Amino acid sequence: MVPRSSIAAVLLSLTSYVAVAQNQPITSPQDAQCRDEARDKVFTAPNPKALSPFLLGSEIYHACMRRLGAEPKPPRE
């Protein structure tokens, strides 16, 4: 069984990471457009992987950035 203090530490570190990621300045018009798109679609987009809203929003954002050519395509595994 995992101690509660370990779970609390993991949740705290994830929360801190999310807060830092959301406070990054907008770096380009594509960045702003994709942030808006992710924010608008995060609760209405299909979510077959049952991702958290943060992870789903991240997927939507990165797909948008790739579509606009502002981010390279991920390497194939």
In a domain, residue 47? The reply is yes
- Count other Cβ atoms within 10 Å, centred on residue 63: 15
- Count other Cβ atoms within 10 Å, centred on residue 23: 7
pLDDT tens string for the chain (77 positions)? 656 666 666 556 655 555 555 678 988 999 999 999 999 999 999 999 999 999 999 999 999 999 998 877 766 76
- Maximum alpha-carbon separation in the chain: 47
Alpha-carbon 55 to chain mean position: 4
Q: 3-state DSSP call for residue 32? A: helix
Say what the pTM is.
0.65
In a domain, residue 75? The reply is no
**Cα separation, 12 vs 77, whole angstroms:** 31
Q: Which domain holds residue 56?
A: 4-67
In a domain, residue 32? The reply is yes
Number of domains composing the chain: 1
